[in-house]
Every structure is written in structure tokens, then in C-alpha cells.
Amino acid sequence: MFASLRRDREALVASLLVGVLALILLLLIAIPLWSLLSKAVQNGQGAFIGLGNFERYFATPALVRSLWNSIWLSALVALIVVPLAFIYAYALTRSLMPARGLFMALALTPIFAPSLLSAISLIYVFGNQGFLKSWLMGGTIYGPIGIILAEVVYCFPHALMIIVTALRLADGRLYEVAEALGTSKPRVFFTVTLPGARYGMISAAFVVFTLVITDFGIPKVIGGQFNVLATDAYKQIVGQQNFEMGAVVGLILLAPAILAFVVDRQVQKKQVALLSARAVPYQPKPNAKRDWALLIYCLVVGGILLAMLGVAIWASFIRYWPYNLSYTLNNYQFDNFDPQGWNAYLTSLKMGAATAIIGTALIFTGAYLIEKTKPAPALRGFAHFLAMLPMAVPGLVLGLGYVFFVNAPWNPLGVFYGTLTVLVANSIAHFYTVAHITAVTALKQIDGEFESVSASLKVPFWTTFRRVTVPISMPAILDIAVYMFVNALTTVSAVIFLYGPSTKLASIAIVHMDEAGAVAAAAAMATCIVVTAMGVKLLHLLLDRLVFAKLQAWRKR
């Protein structure tokens, strides 16, 4: 084995690279998670105390209350979002309603904003100075109502994407058969449509539950005195420096996420089985009544989503809400509200760009090594497992893991605490899995014999990677880079524990300015993030259409 490796330079290089990849993934993903797990079973002095921390956790009524709050709140949001998203997805995939593409884009806009943007909007509308405060009939938006409304907006696009995919996979033949058998429309809906989308809806419900239970930004901004797990973790770590209790909360947050991950994998297996290779895509038939009803529905839902973004953006230009509604740019003078001022935004851009560039290079090269090289199969399998792990780990939990890992007394990497390096490493790890899957999917579509042909021509695989694989995969590589950039820009929950005095990010500045009562400035900073994220996405689409269409002339027949 080793004798042949020495003779085979290519296999040696490939094995070495896979080894390096596995090491990087261990460092980025596995060891931080391990730090979290071990911290949860240690006392303040680092001695092993078994489940002692958990006992203490469940003996503290305030903490248990937060757990219960988190669970029912997340379940309720899932129950609201899934049906809302289902009807919207139905309109997009099963009707001839006009402007379906536009409505899809509209529904995805919340993805480009930090989750707490919708919470800020709600404060403007229903908060103490809100113009619709009376609608709450004496109730307050600062608490469960506000959290639920904001989370619904935040989670809607995630649920929608999953359900749209499920509905698109329908086999049109099933509908033709049902029609040929003279089945009534409602019966077709309940016997064909709903069962077909069932798995997607289950998967969406779990994803939403996990998103809500691990979200930090919204409850922080609009939760008031209402405590949930994510804000508890923040208070334990940042407020009380109680790392052990923070680790316990992190582990509790990990449970639903892992459950959601497992359910999703099962569901996806079944979903694939539903659609045979011979299936024919479903073609909706004109039906004016249905299309009008769905159009009105989408206008209302899409309008609300847009309003939740729009109000905060609008309010960021208002001089003094709600007394002086004249326009100003004063709220964008961030130096007046936060010591870091505009630097936070620049740091975010730097962090996003570094995450996108380094992350994309690492993830695509890693996926190539795992998918296309032959030596060291066990190590490649291990690397793939590590790459899939972050999917099951919420950002908040990963962030906690990083805190414990970087701050561990034995860790020489501790010097990086609070630096951009840690923020970038954490963001790459946080968004690794989706990008990895995108890369693997793109690579699987490439002829598996390219490497064999290269070997026969005595061309090493790294030359083929550079000359063929990367150029062919350029659209997927760009997708990954934009995904990494946008997410690094909008994320709050992972990085809130990790930033340092000179590396405060825009999303964290939003939290701080809101905390300090400068809601308009917080809205202004959020607006900067939204505009940047959307701008990058638009640029991506434009590049894709104009530049790469020319560079990729070989795709044309």
C-alpha cells in the first residue's frame, strides 16, 4: 500500500490533501462541538461532574420556564407558518396566477435581512410609539406576540422553499388518472396533492421549529421580559460568565436541531422515492376563480412580508418617530450611536468577503477531493461526515462551542479570540453543509471518467481540476460564494459570543444600538445589511446572465 503510494505521486498528493481537509474540518467543526459537550459535564474548575449541571438547570424554575416558553413558541410558529407557506407554495406551483416568479422573489426577501429586522418593524408599528398599538387592545408587542409575528416572517421563506420543492415534484400522470376516474376536485386535493406534499410539510415544520428555538435576534429585540432558551444562553455566557450553564442550554438547543436533521434525512429519502424517472411534470389548467383567490392571498401575504421589511427601512429615514415624520439621514451617522460607528459595517463586509472567498475555495476543493479522488476512502468518508455535521448544529450552539474551544486554557489558538479569523472560521463552519451539498451536487453531474481520462493522458488530477472542473462548475461556485456572503452578513446568533472590541459586526451593532434605545439607528444599520445582501444577489444574477453566458459559450449547442 505505502510502497505503491510512494510510486504514485498523484495518490500521495490526494491522500495528503484529504488528510489536511479532515484536519481543517476537525478544527472548524468537531473540536468546537466537543468543547461544548465536555463543558456541559464539567464544573467551573474544569472537573468532571457528570450530569450535575443538568440537575442544577432543571432545579432552577426560571430556566425551566424558558425551556417551556421556547418549546410552545416554536411549535406554535411552525403551526402558523407551514399552512401559510403551503397555500403560497400552492399558488406558485399549481395555479396560473400571474407574476408567480415575482411573488416567489418577494417571499424570499426576508432571507436577505437579519432576523431581527422584522422585530424592529413590529416595534415601529405596534410598539410603545406604534401607530397601530391600539390594535393589541391593551396587550403588548414586547413578548410572545411580537416574537411569534416576527418569527413567522423570518421563517416563511425557509418553509416556502421546502414546500415549493415538494409540490414541484408532483407527477402529472397521477392527476390525469384521477381526472379520468371522475374524481372530484376536493378529493383529488386530499388524496393526491396533500399526500404528495406531506413529507415536505413535515420537513418544513421541523426546520421552522429549529430556526425559532435557536434564534437569538428576535427575542432579544422584542421579547421584553419573556425569556427563551437562546436569550438564556446569552445571559449565562455574556452576562454572568457562567459557561457551564451556557453549555447546558446549548446542548438542550442541539436536541431539536438534531431531531429535525434526522427527520429531514428520512423525509428526503421518501420524497425521492415518490417521483419515478418516468414521472411527467404537473401542468396546471386555467381556473379563473382559483387563480383570483390565490392572487389575493399572495398579495396579502407578500404585502405583509414586504411591509415588515419596508417599515424598518422607511423608519430609518424618519427624524423622530412618530412625532416628526420628516426625512433625515441622521440615523445613518452611526458614530453618534455606537463607538464603532460605520466600522461595524465595514467589518461585516470584510468578514462576509473573507468567508465567501476562503469558504468557497475550501468547500469546493474539499467536495472535489471527497467526490472525485480515490485514495484514502475511510478518511474521505470521515471528512464527508464532518462536512454534513453543521447542518444539525444551530448557529448559536456552534458559537458557544467556539467560545469554549478558543477560550480553553490549553488552546494555543486562544490568541485569535475576538479576531476576524475566528469570526470567519465560525461562519465557514456554520454554513458549511448547504454549500458542501451544492458543490457535491454540481460535481456529481460531471462525468466521472474525467479523472480516468486525465490519468491515461498522464495529466495529474489537479490540472484537470483547474482546467476543467472549476470552469464547468463556475455557476455552482458563484452560488456558494453568494450564499456564504449573504449569510455571514445577516447572522447574529453565532457571532454574538465571538466578536472582539475591534471586530464588532453590523448585525451585533444592531443589537447593541437597539439595547441602547437607538431603534432608528438599529433600523438604519439593518437597512445597510439588507441593501448590501440584495445588491450582491442582484449582481450575481446580472453576472450570471451577462458575463458568464458569454464565458460559458460551450454550453450552447
Partner 1 sequence: MPDMSVSIVPGTEKRAKDSRFLSVRNLTKAFGAFLALKDIDLDIAEGEFVCFLGPSGCGKTTLLRAIAGLDRQTSGTIMLRGRDVSHAPPSARDFGIVFQSYALFPNLSVADNIGYGLVNEKRARPEIERRVAELLALVGLPEQASKYPAQLSGGQQQRVALARALATSPGLLLLDEPLSALDARVRLRLREEIRSLQRRLGVTTIMVTHDQEEALSMAERIVVMNHGVIEQVGTPEEVYAWPQTAFVADFVGRMTFLSGVMSEGGIVDIGSHPLRVQSANLPPGATVEVGLRPEAVRLVAALGGENRLAMRIEALEYLGSFVRATLAVRAGSPLTLLADIPFNRMQDQPLKPGDHVVAHLPAEALRLFPARTGG
**179 vs 447, beta carbon nearer partner 1:** 447
Q: How far apart are CA 82 and CA 201, in angstroms?
A: 7
**356 vs 472, beta carbon nearer partner 1:** 472
355 close to 484: Cβ distance less than 8 angstroms: yes
Task: Write down the least CB distance from residue 409 to partner 1, Å.
Answer: 46
Task: Write down the least CB distance from residue 6 to partner 1, Å.
Answer: 11
Task: Write down the least CB distance from residue 454 to partner 1, Å.
Answer: 8
Task: Write down the least CB distance from residue 438 to partner 1, Å.
Answer: 19
Task: Write down the least CB distance from residue 473 to partner 1, Å.
Answer: 10
Task: Write down the least CB distance from residue 83 to partner 1, Å.
Answer: 44
**378 vs 457, beta carbon nearer partner 1:** 457
Query: Which H or E run contains 326?
Result: strand 324-327
100 close to 91: Cβ distance less than 8 angstroms: yes
Q: Can you tell me whether residue 48 is helix, strand or coil?
A: strand
Q: Where on the chain is the footprint of partner 1 (CB under 8 A)?
A: 3-4, 7-11, 447, 449-450, 452-460, 463-464, 467-468, 471-472, 552-557
**341 vs 460, beta carbon nearer partner 1:** 460
214 close to 233: Cβ distance less than 8 angstroms: no
Which residues, including other chains, have CB under 8 Å from residue 523's CB and lie 6 or more apart?
117, 120, 121, 124, 312, 313, 315, 316, 331
Task: Write down the least CB distance from residue 3 to partner 1, Å.
Answer: 7
**465 vs 499, beta carbon nearer partner 1:** 465
Per-residue cell: 555: 454550453
51 close to 244: Cβ distance less than 8 angstroms: no
334 close to 509: Cβ distance less than 8 angstroms: yes
Strand duo 324-327 + 318-320: pairing = antiparallel
40 close to 248: Cβ distance less than 8 angstroms: yes
Strand partners, 418: 499
Q: How far apart are CA 66 and CA 76, in angstroms?
A: 15
Per-residue cell: 203: 420537513
**CA 470 remoteness from chain centre:** 25
**CA 125 remoteness from chain centre:** 27
Per-residue cell: 494: 453565532
| Cβ neighbour number for residue 497 with a 10 Å cutoff | 23
Task: Write down the least CB distance from residue 443 to partner 1, Å.
Answer: 14
Q: How far apart are CA 463 and CA 460, in angstroms?
A: 6
163 close to 85: Cβ distance less than 8 angstroms: yes
Task: Write down the least CB distance from residue 12 to partner 1, Å.
Answer: 10
**145 vs 455, beta carbon nearer partner 1:** 455
* Backbone phi and psi for residue 284, each to the nearest 5 degrees, phi listed first: -65, 150
**9 vs 285, beta carbon nearer partner 1:** 9
- Cα angle 196, 198, 203; round to 5: 130
227 close to 216: Cβ distance less than 8 angstroms: no
Q: How far apart are CA 472 and CA 464, in angstroms?
A: 11
Task: Write down the least CB distance from residue 5 to partner 1, Å.
Answer: 9
**263 vs 455, beta carbon nearer partner 1:** 455
**124 vs 364, beta carbon nearer partner 1:** 364
Task: Write down the least CB distance from residue 462 to partner 1, Å.
Answer: 12
**14 vs 294, beta carbon nearer partner 1:** 14
Task: Write down the least CB distance from residue 455 to partner 1, Å.
Answer: 4
Which residues, including other chains, have CB under 8 Å from residue 336's CB and lie 6 or more apart?
330, 521
544 close to 478: Cβ distance less than 8 angstroms: yes
402 close to 422: Cβ distance less than 8 angstroms: yes
**1 vs 181, beta carbon nearer partner 1:** 1
Which of 219, 64, 68, 63 lies closest to 142 in space, CA to CA?
Answer: 219
Task: Write down the least CB distance from residue 469 to partner 1, Å.
Answer: 9
**21 vs 472, beta carbon nearer partner 1:** 472
Q: How far apart are CA 228 and CA 233, in angstroms?
A: 9
**4 vs 336, beta carbon nearer partner 1:** 4
